[in-house]
Amino acid sequence: MSKTNYNIDGGSVFRVDKFVVPAAAREEILVKVRTTHELLRQQQGFVQDFVLEQFSGPGEFNLVTIVEWESQAAVDNVVPIVKAAHERIAFNPQETIARLGVKADIANYQRVPEV
Q: What is the pLDDT of residue 28?
A: 96
Domain boundaries, the chain: 13-109
pTM of the model: 0.87
Class of domain 13-109: alpha beta
Per-residue pLDDT of the chain (115 residues; tens, 9 = 90+): 444 444 455 699 999 999 999 999 999 999 999 999 999 999 999 999 999 999 999 989 999 999 999 999 999 999 999 999 999 999 999 999 999 999 999 999 999 987 6
Q: What is the pLDDT of residue 2?
A: 44
Laid out side by side, the sheet with 103-109 consists of 46-53, 63-69, 13-20, 103-109
- In angstroms, rounded to a whole number, what is the distance separating the alpha carbons of residues 55 and 59? 10
- In angstroms, rounded to a whole number, what is the distance separating the alpha carbons of residues 23 and 29? 10
Q: What is the pLDDT of residue 19?
A: 97
Q: Is the distance from CB of 25 to CB of 102 less than 8 angstroms?
A: yes
